[in-house]
């Protein structure tokens, strides 16, 4: 989860700045830039899917084991 902390801050900062700047142009009339469904979809897609993808594709490696064992190649070793 620590890998996504900066990502979550960036995601929320970018989303909030769009609303903040839109407020200047609309005279702070409480009008929103995005539809409510898009806001919900944005939070679901950009918050849950990266965590799920990391959980699905994460691999456990033993100490000293490089990418050679994972990829099956003898030329790559980290």
Give the tens place of pLDDT for each residue, 11-34: 889 888 998 899 888 888 888 888
Sign of the CA dihedral running 28, 31, 36, 42 = negative
Angle between helices 36-57 and 5-25 in degrees, nearest 10: 170
Question: pTM of this prediction?
Answer: 0.54
Average pLDDT for 39-50:
84
pLDDT at 78 over 60: no
């Amino acid at each position: 989860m620590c890998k996504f902390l900066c990502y979550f801050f960036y995601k929320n900062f970018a989303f909030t700045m769009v609303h903040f700047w839109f407020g200047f142009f609309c005279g702070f009339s409480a009008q929103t830039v995005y539809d409510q469904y898009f806001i919900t979809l944005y939070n679901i897609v950009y918050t849950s899917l990266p965590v799920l993808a990391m959980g699905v594709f994460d691999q456990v490696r033993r100490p000293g084991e490089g990418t050679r064992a994972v990829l099956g190649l003898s030329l790559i070793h980290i």
